[in-house]
Amino acid sequence: MGLITSSGLPGHSNLRARICNALDRCQEFRDIDFKESGSWGELRWKIIRTVISMGNLRGGGIIILGVSQRNDTWNLDGISSEHLASFDVDDFTDQVNAYISPYVDITLVTVDYSTEQRFLAIAVDEFLDTPLVCKKNGPSPKDLVEGAIYVRSYGKPETTRIMRAEQLHDLLELAAEKRARRLITLSHRIGLVPGTSAKEQFDQELSGLVQTLPVPVARQPHWQIVVRPENYERELVPSLTNCSQLVERARVKLSGWSYPCLTFNSSLSARGSNWISSWVDLNLGRAEYWRIYQSGQFVHYLTFWSQSSEDLQEINQSVRRQSSYGMQESIPGYVAIPDMIFNMTGMYEFAARLCESGIYRGAVTFQVKLVGIRGFVLAQPRSWLGFSGFHQVTESSLEHLMSVSSIDLIANPREYAVNSVIWFVERFGWNHPPKTAFAQTQQQLFE
C-alpha cells in the first residue's frame, strides 16, 4: 500500500507554499481546482478529467480535496479521515493513468492547513512531449470519452472538452515549444549545433567588469589574473557566505601581505547576485581588485608597484647603466621580479587551497596577463645574485595560459609559480634565468 506523504517534508516546501496560498485566497484559478471531501470511488471520474486538463496546462496544476462550495461561498472543511483512507498512492496513479495517454506524473500530499483541517492535494505535472488524451471511455459520456482532450477554460475556471479550434491554440503552442526545445537539445548532443562551452560561460561572467572597477587598476599597466575550474556550474559554491569563508580560509600570507588582499571595511567590498569582491587603493600606486564567483571563477587585477619609489628610482639608474642605449629617457616603467614572484606564488598557493577545499576538481585553468607593458624593463630593487643585463619587453601585453590538474597543483604549487615566472622573464629577453634564485626568493616569502 502506498502511503501519502505530508507536504511538510522539505522536498515538498514549494508545493506546500503553493497549496497554502490557494487556500488563503480561497479562489479557483486555471491551475487550482477545489473539490469537496469525497472518497476515491465517488470522485474518480471528476478527478481523472481534471488531471487530464491540468496536465495539458502550462506549468500543470493542483486539485485540492476538502473545499466545498455553498451559496457561492467556499468552505475550508478539510477531507474526512474516512475519505482520505480511500486514496492509495500506487493504486491512484495506476488507475488514473489507465485512462490517460501518454503517462502523466502525479504527486499526492496531505496538507495540515490548521490544527483541525487536513486537505488532500493532487499535483499534476504538465505533459512531457505530447498533450494528454483520454484513451478509453468511462461509465458514461459525461464522465470520460475515448479520444477526448480536456483543458482548463478561461473565464470561469473549469475542466472542459475541446470542441472548437481556438481551444487548441495554447495547447498546440506549448507542444510546439517542447518539441523545438527537444530538437535543439538533440542537435547539441549529436554535434549539429555547438553548445555553449564552459569558457564562454565563464567569459560571460566577466563581461563588462573592467569598465566598472571601483579602483583605477585597468587605466594603467596592470596584472590580470583569472583562475577557473574545469566545468561551469553557476552555484558551485552554495552561497555568498560560503564564498567569503572560502576566501578567508584559502588566502595566502606572504611576507606580511595577503594574497588576495582581504579587507573588513564594508566600503572596500561589495557583492552581487553570484559574487563577492574586495579592493584596495593604497594611494602609493599599488591598487588591486578581486572578485570570486559562486561558479568558482576568481579574477584579480593588480597594478605594478609604484614607479616613483626610492627603490625604483635606484633601479632606474642601475638599469640604464646596463642598457646599451645609455641614459635614455624612453623607459616607460618597470616590472619588479620580486613582485612577479609574489603574485605567481600567491596565485598558485591560493588555487591549491581551493582545490583542497573541494571547489576545484579536475583541471584548473590559469590565465595571467601583463597589460600595457610595451617597453617595460625587468627590475630588482636590491642587489641580487644572478640578476644582470637589460631586459625589455617589446609587446604591449603578455598572456600566459596554464591548465593544471588539481592533484598536481596541490602537490607542488610553488614549482608551478617559479615556472610561470621563468615563462614571463624569458619574454622580456632573459635567457637562462636563475631558477634557483627565484625559488630562494620565493622561500623567503614564507619566512
Q: Is 364 exposed, middle or buried (0-12, 13-18, 19+ CB in 10 A)?
A: buried
For residue 127, the domain's CATH number is: 3.30.950.30
133 and 281 inside one domain: no
As a dihedral over the C-alpha atoms of residue 84, residue 89, residue 92, residue 93, rounded to 10 degrees, the angle is 150
182 and 225 inside one domain: no
Rounded CA separation 69/76 (Å):
9
pTM across the whole model: 0.57
Q: What is the pLDDT of residue 147?
A: 95
154 and 250 inside one domain: no
**Strands 118-124 and 61-65, how do they pair?**
antiparallel
Residue where the block lists cell 630593487: 381
50 and 138 inside one domain: yes
179 and 249 inside one domain: no
Q: With beta carbons less than 8 A apart as the criterion, state whether 34 and 137 touch.
A: no
Residue 408 lies in a domain: yes
Residues 6+ apart with CB under 8 A from 70: none
Residue 231 lies in a domain: yes
> Residue 325 — pLDDT band, cuts 50, 70, 90?
very low
138 and 225 inside one domain: no
97 and 224 inside one domain: no
**Residue 353 belongs to domain spanning:** 219-445
Q: What is the pLDDT of residue 371?
A: 94
Rounded CA separation 8/10 (Å):
6
Q: What is the pLDDT of residue 265?
A: 74
Give the dihedral sign, CA 384/389/395/398. Answer: negative
Q: In the predicted model, is pLDDT for residue 146 greater than 90?
A: yes
Residue 238 lies in a domain: yes
Q: Which of 447, 418, 433 is nearest to 348 (CA)?
A: 418
Residue 194 is given by DSSP the state P
Q: In the predicted model, is pLDDT for residue 322 greater than 60?
A: no
List, for residues 39-64, the tens digit of each pLDDT value. 999 999 999 999 999 999 988 999 99
List, for residues 110-138, the tens digit of each pLDDT value. 999 876 789 999 999 999 889 999 999 99
Rounded CA separation 65/63 (Å):
7
What average pLDDT does the chain have?
A: 88
The C-alpha cell at 208 is 563588462
User: First CA to last CA across the chain, in angstroms?
Assistant: 68
The C-alpha cell at 363 is 583541471
What is the number of domains present in the chain? 2
> Residue 327 — pLDDT band, cuts 50, 70, 90?
very low
> Residue 359 — pLDDT band, cuts 50, 70, 90?
confident
The interaxial angle of helices 337-356 and 435-445, nearest 10 deg, is 70
Rounded CA separation 227/210 (Å):
16
Low-confidence winner among 35-49, 93-107, 197-211, 301-315 (lowest mean pLDDT): 301-315
Residue 11 lies in a domain: yes
What are the angstrom distances between the C-alpha of 95 and each of 45, 69, 98, 166, 306? 11, 27, 5, 31, 78
182 and 257 inside one domain: no
Q: In the predicted model, is pLDDT for residue 141 greater than 70?
A: yes
362 and 225 inside one domain: yes
